Amino acid sequence: MTAQPIALIAEDEPLLAAALQAELAQLWPELRIVAVVGDGVSAVHQSLALQPDLLFFDIRMPGMSGLEAAAELADQWDTATRPFPALVFVTAYDEYAVQAFEAQAVDYLLKPVQSARLQKTMDKLRARWSQASVYAAPAPSFDATLGQLRALLETASAATPHTRLKHVQVSVGSSIRMVAVEEVLYFEAADKYVRVLTGNHEYLIRTPLKDLLPQLDPEQFWQIHRGTVVNSSVIDSVSRDEAGKLSLSLRGSKDKLAVSRLYAHRFKAM
């Protein structure tokens, strides 16, 4: 940890970002805000570059959400050299509910941010910082943070009930083909499309992966990366490289699929 704690704010509304920054300066004068960004992609890039101790992420941001940004950052963070930052989500919505934050690895603030609630959060963060600096006390388990991020992402995915998808409608020339989901080896996000890979074909659909995922049977289709969902029944083997990262081999495909830290718990026996 640095001698002086540093923080990054990710908030797409400039006035709210400025207000939060001003309140943080009052409540914790020693805290240095090293960057304020307005989207999830920038939040990941700047966090990796600046290595802050504290993160304040708005959950709803354009493109990559705060939850997705936190998951992506957790996958790329080098925990061997620096503890993962303390993470506070800021949201105008209460659908993520207090129980989602019970593990205490991640905190949250509801908009409009109330001074008393922010004070409580800052007291907790300052106490954690003081203990870590003076007593070298361990920060909350990184595994606990990963588990909580998974729970929050699942909460977001399940927010709206969906009927289980039996077929995927794909365009083939001037016609529409109905591809049974059982035929799909995996789905992969690719720019504005999602690749649908079967044993013999590759199709592109415009439905975002985050909208497609709640319609799939979670027992059959496993998310293994922010942009990849695999048909678990076709997983042939799981391998680990020298850096400890996992990848999957599938029956019916020559592709190797990377498994992010967030979903590596599915293969804990490895």
pLDDT > 80? residue 44 = yes
Q: Is the pTM of this model over 0.85?
A: no
Look at residue 268 in the predicted model and tell me its pLDDT. 77
pLDDT confidence bin for 8, thresholds 50/70/90: very high
Percent of the chain, pLDDT > 70? 87
What is the residue type of 209? Answer: L
Look at residue 130 in the predicted model and tell me its pLDDT. 76
Look at residue 183 in the predicted model and tell me its pLDDT. 96
Q: Which domains does the chain have, with CATH numbers?
A: 6-157 (3.40.50.2300), 167-267 (2.40.50.1020)
pLDDT > 80? residue 106 = no
Look at residue 141 in the predicted model and tell me its pLDDT. 78
User: CA dist 25 to 29, 142, 186, 266, Å?
Assistant: 5, 27, 47, 41
Sorted by sequence, the CB contacts under 8 Å of residue 203 that are 6+ apart come out as 168, 170, 171, 172, 177, 179, 195, 196
Q: Which one-letter DSSP state was computed for residue 120?
A: H
pLDDT > 90? residue 100 = no
Give the pLDDT mean for 262-270: 81
Question: What digits encode the pLDDT tens for the residues 171-197?
Answer: 888 889 999 999 999 999 988 899 999
121 — phi, psi (to 5°)?
-65, -45
Question: What digits encode the pLDDT tens for the residues 19-32?
Answer: 999 999 999 999 99
pLDDT confidence bin for 138, thresholds 50/70/90: very low
Sorted by sequence, the CB contacts under 8 Å of residue 270 that are 6+ apart come out as 238, 240, 246
Average pLDDT, the chain: 87
Give the pLDDT mean for 127-150: 69
In 51-108, alpha helices (H): 66-76
Helix-helix angle 142-157:66-76, to 10 degrees = 150
Question: What digits encode the pLDDT tens for the residues 55-90?
Answer: 999 988 888 889 899 999 999 999 888 899 999 998
Look at residue 159 in the predicted model and tell me its pLDDT. 56
